[in-house]
Each structure stands twice: as C-alpha cells, then as structure tokens.
Amino acid sequence: MKTRPAVLIASYVIVTTATILFLFPIVWLFLTSLKPPAEVLEVALPSRLTLENYETVLATFPVGQYFINSILIAVGSTLVSVGTGSLAAYSLSQYRFRTRQPMLLMTLLMRLLPGVALGIPLFYLFSSVRLTNTMPGLILAHTAIQLPLVIWIMIGFFEDTPAELVQAGLVDGCTRFSVIYRIILPIVTPGLAVAAIFSYLLSWNNLDLSLILAPTPRLVTMPVGISNMNLVYGVRWDLMAAAAVMYIIPTIILALLLQRYIVQGLTLGAVKG
C-alpha cells in the first residue's frame, strides 16, 4: 500500500519527536556525568566535558566493587540458567513426557511472580542453610528469574530447527545425546547467545532479590548501590550520574546486540519480531 506523502511526513514528525523525548533523559544523564564539578548546581549544558566525576566517584565510593559483584553474579547465574535451561528447552520441544505440560506451566508462573513473593521465603530458607549474603545464594536466586526466559527463548530456537536433522543424526549412528552436541548445538549457538545476553541483563538489572538476599555491603550490586547512593549523596547528581552511566553502558551495548530478539524475549516467545 502506498503511503500518501502527508501521512508519511506526519509519521516522521511523530516518530522523531517521540524518539527524542524517550532518549533525552538518558542523554541528559550522560551530559551531567561529564560536567565540571563546579557546575553541578547549574541547570545548563556543561561548559566543557570532563571525566572528573568518574574519578571522584570511583575514589570515594566502592562503585568498582559493586560493578564486579554485579558481573560475577550475572555471569554465574547466566551460566547456570543457560546450561540447565537450554537442555530442558530442547527436551520440551523434542520429547513428550508426563511432566512436560506441568513444567511449561511452571516456567510461565515463575515469570509472573513478584520478586518479593520469592525473596521473602528465600531469605528465610537461605538463612537456615547459610546462603544469605553469599555469592552462590544470589546466583541461585537470580537463576529463578532467568530460567523461564531461557527456556521459552530456546524452545523458539529449537522449534525453528528442522526435525529431519535429528532424524538424520540418529540414522547415521549418533546417540540421542550426541545428536545434541554434534548437530543441534552448533545450529543453535546464536540462540544460546541471545538467551545468555537476556539472562545477563535480567540479573544485571535486578534490584529486589539482591536487596533482600544480600543486605551486607560486601555483596552490594550496582542497582542496589546506586539506589543507596541517592540516600548518601543527596544532591551530588554529577557523581551519581557518573556511576549510573558506568552501569548502563554495558546495558546499552548488550541491548543493542539483542534488538532483533527483544520482542520474542519480552513475550516469552508469544510474539516474534
């Protein structure tokens, strides 16, 4: 269908305006973080750009430690959830067995549950086995929010893999297990990357579970640290902006890598982009 020129121009105007509105606060955050400290109390564009705020915040606040904590927890939980979740997804897309439907149902419910509903009992249970305030405890808790996403994304990828490949492998003498790592694995590597990036971001962005399960300073993650900074720093928005920018640069890079699959990830595969 041909779009009339007037409609096309209106569309461009609407979309451009909206995009500017959506990105402007983020640009403003970047600019604030690059302001010279003397200008923090002025609501204006910086007169020159400097990295001083970054140096200050790194020197006065354990942002580096938060950053490392966040990375370790995100990487650890991603390895666990992608490793176990993709295996489960393969089985759920390939085989029929009695616990299949209940398991699919369970993953959906896991996706819906509020963090506090999981965090409260986990806090008590983890305390009784000394897992609160530990890295493994947080990693395990984060896998709970990642598994549903990994499983549903990977089911989508496995379903797009021709069934004949599995059949051919079996005929050629592969076992059911070696079919997985000789034939399926190389094909779905991009899918695993997508699932891994999604998982990483879920953990990287998580506030509630980290807040509940690791109240000690030692294990503070970036989102928890950044929300605390606000209480400590009050009006030093330039320093907070610097910390926030350090935190969101990896997010933005990963989100851009993912963009083709975001629609699928947001809807547990119900809508394909």
Partner 1 sequence: MVPHASPAPRPAGEYSRFHLPDSWFGFLLTLPALAIMLVVFVFPLLFSAFTSLHRFEIARPDRTRFIGLENYVEIVQDSAFQRALTNTLVYVFVAVPIEFVIGLLLALALANIVQGRGLFRTLLVIPQMLAPAVTALLWKFMYNDELGLINHLLRELGVNRPPLWLTETPLALFSIILVEIWATVPVFVLLLLAGLLSIPQEYYEAAAIDGGSPLAIFRHVTLPLLQPVILVALLIRGMDAFRVFDLVYVLTGGGPALRTDVLSFFVFRTAFTDRDFGLASAGAWIISLILLIGGLTLIRLLRRRY
Q: 65 to 84, contacts with partner 1 by CB under 8 A? A: 80-81, 83-84
Can you tell me which of 26, 51, 185, 232 binds partner 1, judged by CB under 8 A? 26
Report in angstroms the alpha-carbon separations of 223 from 59, 71, 87, 153, 246: 19, 12, 30, 25, 12
Q: Which of 75, 79, 104, 187 binds partner 1 (CB under 8 A)?
A: 104
CB 91 to partner 1: min, Å: 4
Q: Does position 230 bind partner 1 by CB under 8 A?
A: yes
Say whether residue 85 binds partner 1 (CB under 8 A).
yes
Which listed range, 2-10, 47-55, 57-65, 187-195, lies at the site for partner 1 (CB under 8 A)?
Answer: 2-10
State which of residues 63, 158, 195, 219 lies at the interface with partner 1 (CB under 8 A): 158
Q: Is 235 in the site for partner 1 (CB under 8 A)?
A: yes
Tell me how far apart the alpha carbons of residues 55 and 76 are, in angstroms, rounded to a whole number. 29
CB 202 within 8 A of CB 149: yes
Helix 63-94 to helix 222-233 angle (10° resolution) is 150
67-to-30, 126, 224, 252 alpha-carbon distances in Å: 18, 24, 11, 15
Which are the contacts of 126, defined by CB distance < 8 A and separation ≥ 6? 132, 137, 141, 213
Instruction: Identify residue 89 by its one-letter amino acid code.
Output: A
Out of 59, 98, 130, 216, the only residue in the binding site for partner 1 (CB under 8 A) is 98
DSSP state of 61: S
Closest approach of partner 1 to the CB of residue 174, in Å = 10
- Contact between 272 and partner 1 (CB under 8 A)? yes
CB nearer partner 1, residue 51 or residue 270: 270
CA 32 distance to own-chain centroid: 25
Q: Which stretch binds partner 1 (CB under 8 A): 46-54, 59-67, 185-193, 248-256?
A: 248-256
By the rule CB under 8 A, 248 interacts with partner 1: yes
Instruction: Report the alpha-carbon distance of residue 203 to residue 197 in Å, rounded.
Output: 10
